[in-house]
Amino acid sequence: MIKILIVEDEMLIRVGIKSCIDWEANGFEVIGLAEDGEQALDIIEKLRPEIVLTDIKMPNMDGLELIDRIKKQYPTIRVIVLSCYNEIDFIKKAMKLGADDYILKLSMEPGALLEVLNNTKSAIDSREKADLQSSNNQREIKISKNFIKEDLYKKVIDEAISVERLVGDLKSIGSSMSFSRLNVIYASIDDYSNASLKSRLDDRHLLKFSVTNIIEEILLSYCKGDIVEVEKGEYLLLFDSCEEADCQKILKEFCFKVNNALESYFNISISFGISGITGDMSSFKTMYTQAKKALEQKFYSGRGSILFYDEKLEFSDKFILLNLQDEKMLQTCLENLDYDGAKAIIKKFFYGIYNLKMYHPSKVRMAGVELLNPFINVAKKFELETDFALITSGNIENPVDILMKAETVSYIYNWFESVVEKFIDYLSNKRLSAERPEILKLKQYISDRVYEDITLDKAAKISNMSKSYLSSVFKKETGESFTDYVNRLKMEEAKILIQRYDLKNYEVAEKLGFIDESYFSKLFKKYIGISPSKVNR
């Protein structure tokens, strides 16, 4: 519907015009009636009509002044003048001011008025089509220029063309970058594989378009700049003409604004790596490398980081592995369904890495892959190899792939914490469903009498089995001998007694039925991995 405002100081004429046409049937809608120019401007401001039908001679603000104001403030609004035979001079002035057509009030017939309105409507439609075509042409030109620009930056990064060629070709497509004071920024969308889902922008091209537009818009309020996507979800920004004294402050503010906008509109964030400053475009490749190295620190600082290059922050390429003793302990904790013990070992390992912040992310990811070995060993022992991917990642993705793509050390740590719970729960359920009832009953008996002297003879009598048969069945069902199982439970209880009650070694040994303290200490070290005296009290 084309919205129409009628401006006429005489009430009968206003009502007559409104009543003489079936507006809706002809594609029009009268959105208001005004007595003079002042009232008309108030309505125009609120409702924005496409056509204004206005008288010329009116009190307060006449039609000529109204037309002048409309054409200056709302140039797309069409104006049709309502006039009389003796107002030819006024009509000429109105047309000079920008009125589109006129109709004489005294001879006005509904058909004549409708003809003038339809002509104006056609002009509006033609203008909208022209504007749309112009807009489409400009968009295609912009897309074409962006494609060329993207290709140029990728080529200079790959050293397929020189920096001098880059600068010359950018100028040829209308770039106004002066490159007089330049920071290179390498920006990466956090958790890019899920960004389309989080942002509700199903198409990654639409995501790229939206992110680029937001960054370009914010760049305009700071300086001349450039932005291109060089990899999926990764952007190269050139930040030009930044004053040295306030440069870092300005860059931080810019990055904060970008992230605030992206989080508000699309529920995503970006991390930024920022190079040093240069006044010479020939240093572009060095600045680019600095920016990428700065962004690598996101592995420790987390998502949404703003990171400036510092030559002191160089990563070590050394391999990092869980020590053999802790790896053995982790495997034991998993076998024994010990959540807390397994989590404590993993926490100690990753907190050590995080606090040092010295290892290259690729080395930490590889350390995570190696840390899967105790889980794999336990899975093999209890014949769960085929279920391993299902346990750790819901069978959606290979655990190794998950770790090798991890963006941050905290993600790897949290992933392992989650896997410990899933793995132990799964193993526990499998073992409960697989173990024979008499063995489950016997294990409960041992747990309830851990302070007593529990022998294979007693266990055989309780289970109504021979000692040799019980020994064989117990080992097959639990993965360890009867004696090892009893001693391990006793040593785990001993550890609790030492930690909670600060008992002496001989006191703990006595409580658990060991006469020889040195034998107790030997068993403790075998099953717990350290001597009783080294337990944190």
The answer to which of 30-34, 83-87, 397-401, 473-477 has the lowest mean pLDDT is 83-87
What's the rounded Cα separation, in Å, for the pair 390 and 450? 35
Q: Is residue 156 part of a domain?
A: no
Specify the pTM: 0.59
Q: Over the stretch 339-383, which tens digit does the pLDDT of each residue have?
A: 899 999 999 999 999 999 999 999 999 999 999 999 999 988 887
Q: Over the stretch 308-334, which tens digit does the pLDDT of each residue have?
A: 999 888 898 898 989 989 999 999 999
Report which of 229, 230, 228, 250 is spatially closest to residue 240, judged by C-alpha positions: 250
What's the rounded Cα separation, in Å, for the pair 388 and 400? 11
Q: Are residues 191 and 266 in the same domain?
A: yes
CA 404 to chain centre: 19
Q: Is residue 161 part of a domain?
A: no
Q: Are residues 335 and 287 in the same domain?
A: no
At 287 the pLDDT is 94
Q: Are residues 298 and 207 in the same domain?
A: yes
What's the rounded Cα separation, in Å, for the pair 294 and 310? 7
- Confidence bin at 15 (pLDDT 50/70/90): confident
Q: Looking at the predicted structure, is the pLDDT value of residue 534 above 80?
A: yes
Q: Are residues 388 and 489 in the same domain?
A: no
The β-bridge relationship of strands 101-104 and 78-83 is: parallel
Q: How many helices (H) and strands (E) does the chain have?
A: 24, 10
**Boundary residue ending a domain (93, 109, 128):** 128
What is the average pLDDT across 243-268? Answer: 88
At 382 the pLDDT is 82
CATH of residue 67? 3.40.50.2300
Instruction: Count how many domains the chain has.
Output: 4
**Boundary residue ending a domain (128, 161, 194):** 128
More confidently predicted of 234 and 336:
234
Domain region containing 416: 324-424
What's the rounded Cα separation, in Å, for the pair 526 and 328? 11
Q: Is residue 529 part of a domain?
A: yes
Report which of 264, 286, 295, 282 is spatially closest to residue 199, judged by C-alpha positions: 264
Q: Over the stretch 39-98, which tens digit does the pLDDT of each residue have?
A: 999 999 999 999 999 998 899 899 999 999 999 999 889 999 988 756 778 888 888 888
* CA atoms lying within 13 Å on the CB side of residue 227: 21
What's the rounded Cα separation, in Å, for the pair 255 and 225? 13
Q: Is residue 167 part of a domain?
A: no
Q: Is residue 28 part of a domain?
A: yes
Q: Are residues 475 and 514 in the same domain?
A: yes
- What's the chain's average pLDDT? 87
More confidently predicted of 85 and 407:
407
- What tokens appear for 302 in the block? 């987390």
Q: Are residues 443 and 523 in the same domain?
A: yes
* CA atoms lying within 13 Å on the CB side of residue 228: 20
Q: Are residues 187 and 297 in the same domain?
A: yes
Q: Are residues 443 and 386 in the same domain?
A: no
CATH of residue 474? 1.10.10.60
What is the average pLDDT across 144-152? Answer: 84
Instruction: Answer whether 348's CB lies under 8 Å from 340's CB.
Output: no
What's the rounded Cα separation, in Å, for the pair 34 and 38? 8
At 128 the pLDDT is 74
Q: Are residues 98 and 33 in the same domain?
A: yes
- Confidence bin at 134 (pLDDT 50/70/90): low
At 109 the pLDDT is 80
The answer to which of 128-132, 266-270, 279-283, 524-528 has the lowest mean pLDDT is 128-132
Q: Is residue 163 part of a domain?
A: no
What's the rounded Cα separation, in Å, for the pair 509 and 520? 6
Q: Are residues 341 and 447 in the same domain?
A: no
Q: Are residues 182 and 249 in the same domain?
A: yes
**Boundary residue ending a domain (279, 308, 337):** 308
Q: Are residues 21 and 102 in the same domain?
A: yes
Q: Is residue 432 part of a domain?
A: no
Q: Is residue 416 part of a domain?
A: yes
What's the rounded Cα separation, in Å, for the pair 274 and 311? 12
What is the average pLDDT across 517-524? Answer: 93
